[in-house]
Amino acid sequence: MDKLFALLQFMLALFGVDAGGRTFVDHVVVDGQDLLYSRVHVAAGVARFDCVRSGSGRCHYTVLPPGCIDTMPAAMPDCLRHPLRRFAVARGHSEQVAGLTRFQVCVSPSAAHPGGDCDARRPVARR
């Protein structure tokens, strides 16, 4: 039954119907200029990563398991070596990833792998 419900919510999301969920925003402004503006919306196990603005033209995402936050900073190096996923999204575009229910995300305008200061101190989604 849970799979049917998740499939229904996914189909509704494809047609622009929002059935709830959570949205998290990362917005970095330096000297009045947007360095990074990213939104992540999670509903029914589908995460949508929107790169609204980025000084480099791309938002670079590192998706981490949820335990990384609870054990920071001790587990952070290991979490960064074994992320759930890494990808980049062009400014003004988005990417959807199905199957994500609990995770953390680091987002940066740089392609360099995030370090221990990665802004992944909060869970993005919990069920």
Contact 51, 89 (CB under 8 A): yes
Domain positions in the chain are 22-127
pLDDT in tens, 112-122: 766 555 654 44
The tokens 């995460």 sit on which residue? 47
Q: In which order are the strands placed within the sheet that holds 58-64?
A: 85-90, 58-64, 104-108
- CATH number of 22-127: 1.25.40, 1.10.10, 2.60.40, 1.10.287? 2.60.40
pTM above 0.85, yes or no: no
Segments of the chain scoring below 70 in pLDDT? 1-19, 69-77, 113-127
Q: In which order are the strands placed within the sheet that holds 22-30?
A: 22-30, 33-43, 46-54, 94-98
